[in-house]
Amino acid sequence: MNLPHVAVVVNDLGHVVVEVDDYELFDFIEDYLTEECNLLSEWVSSGEKGTPHAKWSMGFLAECAVELNEVLGRLDARELERIFLLNNPTE
């Protein structure tokens, strides 16, 4: 899976973590995962809005890894980029 501004990693505790570079994009992905895919995160960590390089994260149990990659892979990279640019316009 190669999506702009979104990464899926495994942390030291074995949780699968979805990391997002922007709040609006995080909100979109969180809504998509919970409302359309019925995947509920175990925890959420938020960056400080307006802080450069802030990340917003959702943690899932390790057994969700395959399903997360599958459903995130369905997202349109162009749409994710469009949402990201709402708060992060290029100059």
Tens digit of pLDDT for each residue in 18-77? 999 999 999 999 999 999 999 999 999 987 766 667 789 999 999 999 999 999 999 999
- Answer yes or no: is pLDDT of 91 > 80: no
The predicted pLDDT at position 6 comes to 96
The predicted pLDDT at position 64 comes to 94
Residues 6 or more apart whose Cβ sits within 8 Å of residue 40: 33, 34
The residue assigned the tokens 């995080």 is 26
The predicted pLDDT at position 72 comes to 97
Query: pTM here?
Result: 0.89
What average pLDDT does range 77-86 have in this prediction? Answer: 96
The predicted pLDDT at position 49 comes to 64
**C-alpha distance from residue 34 to each of 48, 75, 88, 89 (Å):** 22, 14, 25, 28
